[in-house]
Amino acid sequence: EDQVTQSPEALRLQEGESSSLNCSYTVSGLRGLFWYRQDPGKGPEFLFTLYSAGEEKEKERLKATLTKKESFLHITAPKPEDSATYLCAVQPGGSNYKLTFGKGTLLTVNP
Amino acid sequence: NAGVTQTPKFQVLKTGQSMTLQCAQDMNHEYMSWYRQDPGMGLRLIHYSVGAGITDQGEVPNGYNVSRSTTEDFPLRLLSAAPSQTSVYFCASSWGLAGGRRSYEQYFGPGTRLTVT
């Protein structure tokens, strides 16, 4: 059974204080790993797809990396507007569609 | 493009009532799906469709029906609402293999918050 574990469950940072969120996964093959951002009362917003170990993607203050067992979402010099829940999901090999989500990390950035 | 749209945004039902949650996408995506999101549980797949006329069950399908008569629309029907179906429901879509794009990231709608009393 595919499993995704995100840690920590909640993270509070001061503005400018860089940190990382972790996504550990167990999946039968890996077609892709996805990161989403979710604001309160909204649907998840797609951020990144990673396909193979060693791959990295960046967008503004966010950088996602992937190894064979986990992914990290690095947040550099965060701002209060980066506050959100960050979700990780994996797609198993052999599936074009199925996603298994983690429970998310609630990030709060204080000014 | 409007992307993925869902209606209604909020709904209150009484136990035993039925209703349909609407979902539409204007991106010509091949794949559409329904998730529910509950506190502490994460997003769980209810039903999905890989094209018009093709649907299948996800992780938590009991109590829900779907059909997909067009590429654009994928309604979710609650047959006889129960308090355990109180949740936030999200519809999502992706290209999948459509048009040779091989793009699997899913795009989500804004959600429907359902309360069953």
- Assigned token pair, B97: 């293999």
> Per the CB < 8 Å rule, is B108 touching A101?
no
Q: What is the pLDDT of residues B56-69, one digit of tens each?
A: 999 999 999 999 99
Residue from A95, A99, A100, A103 whose CB has the most chain B CBs within 10 Å, to mutate: A99
Q: How does pLDDT run along chain B (117 residues), one tens digit per residue?
A: 789 999 999 999 999 999 999 999 998 888 999 999 998 888 999 999 999 999 999 999 999 999 999 999 999 999 999 999 999 999 999 976 655 556 688 999 999 999 999
Residue from B94, B105, B113 whose CB has the most chain A CBs within 10 Å, to mutate: B105
User: Which pLDDT score, from 0 to 100, does residue A11 have?
Assistant: 98
**Closest C-alpha to A103, from A32, A27, A30, A21:** A21
User: Which pLDDT score, from 0 to 100, does residue B40 have?
Assistant: 84
Structure letter (DSSP) for residue B53: T
Residues of chain A scoring pLDDT < 50: none
> Per the CB < 8 Å rule, is A99 touching B106?
yes
Pick from A45, A49, A101: CB nearest B42:
A101
CA-to-CA separations, B24 to A24, A67, B7, B42, in angstroms, rounded: 33, 36, 9, 23
User: Which pLDDT score, from 0 to 100, does residue A31 have?
Assistant: 87
Contacts of A32 (CB under 8 A, 6+ apart): A49, A50, A51, A90, A91, B104, B105
Burial grade of A74 (CB within 10 A; 0-12, 13-18, 19 or more): middle
Burial grade of A10 (CB within 10 A; 0-12, 13-18, 19 or more): exposed
> Per the CB < 8 Å rule, is A42 touching B110?
yes
Pick from A45, A46, A97: CB nearest B96:
A97
Buried b (16+ CB within 10 A) or exposed e, B29-51: bbbbbbbbbeeeebbbbbbbbbe
Measured CA to CA, the distance from residue A43 to residue B2 in angstroms comes to 14
